[in-house]
C-alpha cells in the first residue's frame, strides 16, 4: 500500500507499506531497494531500522521523500499504520502510473526531488 503523506506530514511525501513472509526476506528486500535507489538517484537511504537483528518484525527505510515500511504480518496488523493514517490518500497501484498521481502531485514531487537530489553537475 502507498499512502500520500504530503499533506499530513511536511517531512515525507509517501509511505510504502508492505508485508513480507520472513525477516530474511525483509532484509534482502531492503538491501535491494537501497541499491536500486542508489542506482536511480545516486544516493542511499538516509536512515534504517530493523536491519540489525534476525528477530526484527519491522524494517524501516528512509529515502527522504519516501519511507518504506516492511512488516511481518503480525507486526503490520499490530501497528496498523493504515488505520493510524486513515485520512491519508491511498494510491491505487492497479492503475498505470500516469493515472495514479494527479498532475499537481507529480509536479510538486518532481520539483521537490530536484531540490533534494540535484544532478551531480550542479553541485560544483
Sequential pLDDT tens for the chain (124 residues): 999 998 888 888 999 999 999 999 998 998 898 888 888 877 666 666 656 667 789 999 998 888 999 999 999 999 999 999 999 999 877 655 554 444 444 444 444 443 334 445 554 4
In a domain, 45, yes or no: yes
Print the domain residue range for 87: 2-91
Q: Count how many domains the chain has.
A: 1
Q: Note the helical H segments in the chain.
A: 23-41, 73-79, 81-84, 97-100, 103-116
User: What are the b/e assignments for 78-113, b being 16+ CB within 10 Å?
Assistant: eeebeeebeebeebeeeeeeeeeeeeebeeebeeee
In a domain, 122, yes or no: no
- The CA R_g of the chain, rounded to the nearest whole Å, is 15
Amino acid at each position: 500500500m502507498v499512502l500520500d503523506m504530503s499533506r499530513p506530514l511536511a517531512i515525507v511525501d509517501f509511505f510504502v507499506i508492505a508485508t513480507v513472509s520472513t525477516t530474511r526476506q525483509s532484509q534482502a528486500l531492503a538491501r535491494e531497494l537501497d541499491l536500486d535507489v542508489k542506482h536511480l538517484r545516486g544516493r542511499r537511504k538516509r536512515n534504517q531500522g530493523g536491519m540489525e537483528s534476525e528477530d526484527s518484525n519491522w524494517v524501516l527505510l528512509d529515502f527522504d521523500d519516501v519511507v518504506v515500511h516492511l512488516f511481518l504480518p503480525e507486526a503490520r496488523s499490530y501497528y496498523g499504520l493504515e488505520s493510524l493514517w486513515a485520512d491519508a490518500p491511498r494510491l491505487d497501484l492497479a492503475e498505470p502510473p500516469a493515472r495514479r498521481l494527479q498532475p499537481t502531485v507529480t509536479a510538486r514531487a518532481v520539483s521537490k526531488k530536484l531540490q533534494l537530489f540535484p544532478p551531480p553537475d550542479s553541485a560544483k
